[in-house]
Structure 1
Amino acid sequence: MLNLIRAGMVASLILALSMHTSFCQTAYGQEESNSNTTLSKVQAFSQVGEFSRAFEQIDKVEDAELRDQAHSTIARMQMKAGLIRAAVETASYIADDMNRSEVLSEASSVRNQSPMARGGGVTPDFDQLIDLITTTVEPESWEELGGPGSLAPFPTGVYVDSEGTLKRVTKLSNDSLLSGIHDSAKIVAANQDLLTQSALRKVSLTRLEKEAQLRWAIGRDPTDTMRNMAGIYEVKYLLVYPDTGEIVISGPAGPWHTNAEGRHVNVSTGRPVLQLDDLVVLLRNAIEKNGKFGCAITPKQHSLKSAQEYIDATSDKPLHPRLRDQWLEGLRKSVGKQDITVHGVAPETRVGQIIVEADYHMKRIGMGLEDGTAGVPSYLEMVTIPPGGSPPPMDVLRWWFTLDYRNISVTKTGDAFALQGPGVKVLSENEHLDAQGQRIHTNTSTALNATFARNFSTNYPALAVKYPIYAELKNVFDLAMISSLIEKERLADQVDWNMTHFGPDGGYEVTTGSAPKVVDTIMNMRVIDKRFIIAGVSGGVSFDPSGMLTEEKTSVDEYGLMTAEREASNIPKSIKHHSWWWD
């Protein structure tokens, strides 16, 4: 009896399993059939130029992958019709960034090809017409300058596809080329008033990359708002939102202008704003070079030997004060120019130029060739000779910038980060010279040399106000740490961000200039009690984040303040499709 019951139960289970499998197969078949039907309709409508009706089919689809396929289909058909801007706008609705990037690359390639002839006539130059209108009719109201206005070409009623087939283009309403929210040219930069000061502005790096890539696909450079990161002038938090696919930088921001040195600075604080070019360079550096970069300004060995010989030849008789400058110029000529080397980043990039400029300027302050601030006298000013004492020997003083973060604060869930500490400091070393002018590292620093480095580090904020180049260097260091955190913690993987445009293989082109290679020797002299004090300097910038990206240097936010800040900074539900920053 028991065996019969068991047999009946097994039979019932087999029947139920069979019915369930049959139901699942039927449901799957219906779902697959519905998907194929949707894509078939999208394909059919797109082929005859009925793009509005094609979009109506997508409105009924909830599956993200299927929606991406449908948008890709429409975008490619728009390319065949010569509607490149429309295709790019359609591609902006593709959620998967790898898929979207592939479509945008195709659009860029088609755009760069010779225009297709329509109807045997000359193809109108829409780009020239658009440029004429946007530069003469209220220029600040157009998308290139962050305004809401946009223009797009509208083709004639027929076109010839790549296979030579003549087809019709449906005449769409004036309200939209693509129906509803699918506006063919509305690739705008911002969503709010950039002229307002903000205590905490947020920039989504994933959205910013998408918008920059959309512009790239239609042959346009990033907007001024994009290049200046919506006016953020200090990195306060790095925030991660896996559910919405966002990596966000936040910090104080406001309107900016170009100062006398050509720097983009906040109009109220004078602080330089973050630069998109710098972020891209440092993201690529973090991926390819483990975040390490720097520069060096060093005298040549034979030049140092010549300098020693010059001093020996001219020190046998007292130097008249009126001949001081002439003698010093002779010393500089004997040393010649110093070599500049940059590693980790390309020297012609803005990052490469900033680290060299900051290092060179710091050494000029140290040699008394530029004024410091209160608390930062030059090295030569600090030199004293006690009665019966001797002046410091002609060592080569080595000063260099390096990172100075106390720790990295992180939430318990690892989705918000903050950098703690001043960020930048100066280190020092005394290098001896042998008879051949060879620099010998001592790994030690005299008290006087160390004092200058300490004074400079302590007063760095004041120096950054007086000389914005130091604030620029701090921004570079902050962005470099943020980039290294993104790479080390695999934050891009958490939000499915493939960096198709900003990454090492991306199409974003960083603006470059002339690479610095040599610089006039940084050397000075002071006379105390008719005795010469001569000082030369070397050094550079050394950034290596590996020492900071450890458990020992990470502190968990136990009070929940960062968690609360992250929740308050979440992307607004009402944000527009093309917006990438918010307050």
Structure 2
Amino acid sequence: MESRSTRLFHLLLATFAVGLLVAPAAAQTNNNNNFQQSGVYVDAQGVLRMQQASDPTGQLMRQRVQAAKATLAPELTKPSELRMISLNRLEAALAKATEENNTIPEEMKNLAGLTQLKYVFFYPESGDIVIAGPAEGFVSDLTGRAVGTTSGKAILSLDDMIVALRAYAPGTKGVNFVGVSIDPTKEGLKNYQEYLRSVGTDLAKINVATLVPGMQQALGKQDVTVTGISPKTNFAKTLVEADYRMKLIGIGLERPPVRIPSYTEKSRGGSKNALQRWFFTPNYECVKLSEDGLAMELVGEGVKLIGENEMVTRDGGRVQSGGEDPASRMFTMAFTKAYPELAKRSPVYAQMRNQIDMLIAAAYIQEYDLYGQAHWNLGVFNDESRYPVEVYNAPNQVETAVNAVWKGNRLVTPIGGGVSIKPKYALLPEQMIEDENGALEKERAEIKVPELAPGQWWWD
């Protein structure tokens, strides 16, 4: 049975996420575009760090939007309910630009302003593989992220689309899993356990001022693992950022722009060896496929947060404990429910959703042999020497972000997790959504590929 002193212990929360080298109070953020915009970068040592830009009145972004509208072609600035992009024609245009050493147009880099990948259509008569979705004008925000000039939503990136297509390139089996994991070292967990024991259980003797720094020092840096794609891509960096910032929200170190009760708010404490883990996964019941296999629609928001428990042993090992505690379950459910609104106001979450959609679309293109039917081998899209996308420092280590909250009477220790995406799983027959009355097939048939000018690759 636990002693009274142990039961009167305090709640400590640590997140195994990307580096945050500021005190917990300074980590409070608000992602309202009119005040502060957040992002990350990876330094030369491979440590991922936060960056923030303030715009108290919103004037800087208004100026950027005005400048973008003045320089973009009028047809790009006009919002479109459905904009079509022929991937093969885009690749041909990109190949020509690289051969001629031309600057890659911004409309290419930003996929003509698509804010969502909603459909994939194939047209056997012309060989066009088409992605389609809503679109609008685009501008870089204060952290360098492309967002819509009308809605502020994240814009799809050509580089990200290429990463997804390479993961399911023609002539390959395609990857089974894409994800990131940010994990403490065994040595760090062991040091952490020893540090907690050295702190003791006498609340009157605990020095709160040194508690958080002591926890951070004991844990040290954590390892970042990227699976299925190159860690040197914007795609990987975005997945890590979304995972990291979700955990900051969970432990109360980032204030999201929508109401999501944090884990710290709901927790009543737990085992002092508990390791809470939270994972982003797709909502796999998201694919509608036409009977002829020539059209695919992605339905719903497509992202959910799940949780699981682990236990930390005295030597720093980790073992599954099963289940999910009530506070963790409330947090993951609230986060999933709020995800659509959060993605509208915090672009990194929309970026991650778009990346998941791209992976599922790419898996569909490969699975249904659209490459073979189109007689297309990805060309320059699959040639890193001609169009490099692996241009970032790879995140390989992260600092520990720690929050210490007096609450309850038990000790809850590190939080970890990651992002887990299995795109092919969404294409399994049991996951498919029925195309009632052939509506999707009819929609593809109604959207014809028009007579396009030489070099043209998109249309409304």
Q: TM-score, normalised by structure 2?
A: 0.80
Check conservation: 2:309, 2:321, Cα contact below 8 A.
yes
- Answering whether residue 446 of structure 2 is matched by residue 564 of structure 1, we say no
**Which residue pairs with 1:541 in the alignment?**
419
- Answering whether residue 456 of structure 2 is matched by residue 582 of structure 1, we say no
1:378–1:146 CA distance, 2 compared to 1 (3 A): closer
Check conservation: 1:526, 1:534, Cα contact below 8 A.
no
Q: Secondary structure at the match of 1:548?
A: helix
Pick from 119, 122, 126 the counterpart of residue 240 of structure 1.
122
Deviations 1:289-330 (A, max 9, x none): 425211110111111111111111112421579x42421221
**Which residue pairs with 2:37 in the alignment?**
none
**Which residue pairs with 2:328 in the alignment?**
449
Q: Secondary structure at the match of 1:346?
A: coil
Identity over the aligned pairs, expressed in percent?
33
For the residues of structure 1 that align with 2:137 and 2:386, how far apart are their CA atoms?
A: 28
For the residues of structure 1 that align with 2:134 and 2:222, how far apart are their CA atoms?
A: 39
**Which residue pairs with 2:197 in the alignment?**
312
**Which residue pairs with 2:220 in the alignment?**
336
Letter of the 1:308 counterpart? Q
For the residues of structure 1 that align with 2:211 and 2:96, how far apart are their CA atoms?
A: 60
Check conservation: 1:398, 1:430, Cα contact below 8 A.
yes
Letter of the 1:400 counterpart? F
Deviations 1:456-507 (A, max 9, x none): 1111112213321111100100111100100111111122222122136783
Deviations 1:79-106 (A, max 9, x none): xxxxxxxxxxxxxxxxxxxxxxxxxxxx
**Which residue pairs with 1:552 in the alignment?**
430
- Answering whether residue 338 of structure 2 is matched by residue 467 of structure 1, we say no
1:465–1:306 CA distance, 2 compared to 1 (3 A): same
- Answering whether residue 167 of structure 2 is matched by residue 285 of structure 1, we say yes
**Which residue pairs with 1:195 in the alignment?**
77
Letter of the 2:382 counterpart? G
Deviations 1:277-300 (A, max 9, x none): 111111111235425211110111
**Which residue pairs with 1:227 in the alignment?**
109
**Which residue pairs with 1:493 in the alignment?**
372
For the residues of structure 2 that align with 1:320 and 1:254, how far apart are their CA atoms?
A: 59
1:374–1:278 CA distance, 2 compared to 1 (3 A): closer
For the residues of structure 1 that align with 2:410 and 2:323, how far apart are their CA atoms?
A: 24
Check conservation: 2:277, 2:417, Cα contact below 8 A.
yes
Query: How do 1:297-376 residues align onto structure 2 when only pairs under 5 Å count?
Result: 297-319=182-204, 323-372=207-256, 374-376=258-260
For the residues of structure 1 that align with 2:176 and 2:93, how far apart are their CA atoms?
A: 26
1:506–1:580 CA distance, 2 compared to 1 (3 A): farther
Uncovered stretches (5+) of structure 1, i.e. residues with no partner: 1-139, 148-191, 386-390
* Structure possessing the higher relative contact order (Cα contacts under 8 Å, 6 or more residues apart): 2
Q: Secondary structure at the match of 2:222?
A: strand
For the residues of structure 1 that align with 2:189 and 2:359, how far apart are their CA atoms?
A: 35
Uncovered stretches (5+) of structure 2, i.e. residues with no partner: 1-67
Aligned length, in residue pairs:
388
Check conservation: 2:85, 2:459, Cα contact below 8 A.
yes
Structure number with higher helix proportion: 1
| Shift of residue 557, structure 1, vs aligned partner | 1.7
For the residues of structure 1 that align with 2:433 and 2:180, how far apart are their CA atoms?
A: 31
Deviations 1:338-391 (A, max 9, x none): 111111111110111111111111111111111135552111111236xxxxx4
Q: Secondary structure at the match of 2:75?
A: coil
For the residues of structure 1 that align with 2:384 and 2:267, how far apart are their CA atoms?
A: 52
Pick from 393, 398, 412 the counterpart of residue 519 of structure 1.
398
For the residues of structure 2 that align with 1:292 and 1:212, how far apart are their CA atoms?
A: 28
Q: Secondary structure at the match of 2:155?
A: coil
For the residues of structure 1 that align with 2:322 and 2:412, how far apart are their CA atoms?
A: 21
Runs of 4+ in structure 1 over 4 Å off: none
For the residues of structure 1 that align with 2:319 and 2:424, how far apart are their CA atoms?
A: 27
Q: Give the CA RMSD over aligned residues.
A: 2.1
1:373–1:533 CA distance, 2 compared to 1 (3 A): farther
Q: Secondary structure at the match of 1:400?
A: strand
For the residues of structure 1 that align with 2:192 and 2:360, how far apart are their CA atoms?
A: 40
For the residues of structure 1 that align with 2:130 and 2:280, how far apart are their CA atoms?
A: 28
Structure number with higher strand proportion: 2
Q: Secondary structure at the match of 1:234?
A: coil
Letter of the 1:331 counterpart? M
For the residues of structure 2 that align with 1:512 and 1:202, how far apart are their CA atoms?
A: 28
For the residues of structure 1 that align with 2:384 and 2:234, how far apart are their CA atoms?
A: 19
1:505–1:326 CA distance, 2 compared to 1 (3 A): closer
For the residues of structure 1 that align with 2:319 and 2:360, how far apart are their CA atoms?
A: 32
**Which residue pairs with 1:108 in the alignment?**
none
For the residues of structure 2 that align with 1:429 and 1:523, how far apart are their CA atoms?
A: 20
Larger-gyration structure (1/2): 1
Check conservation: 2:184, 2:221, Cα contact below 8 A.
yes
| Larger CA deviation: 461-470 vs 486-495 | 461-470
For the residues of structure 2 that align with 1:506 and 1:241, how far apart are their CA atoms?
A: 30
Q: Secondary structure at the match of 2:297?
A: strand
**Which residue pairs with 1:295 in the alignment?**
180
Q: TM-score, normalised by structure 1?
A: 0.63
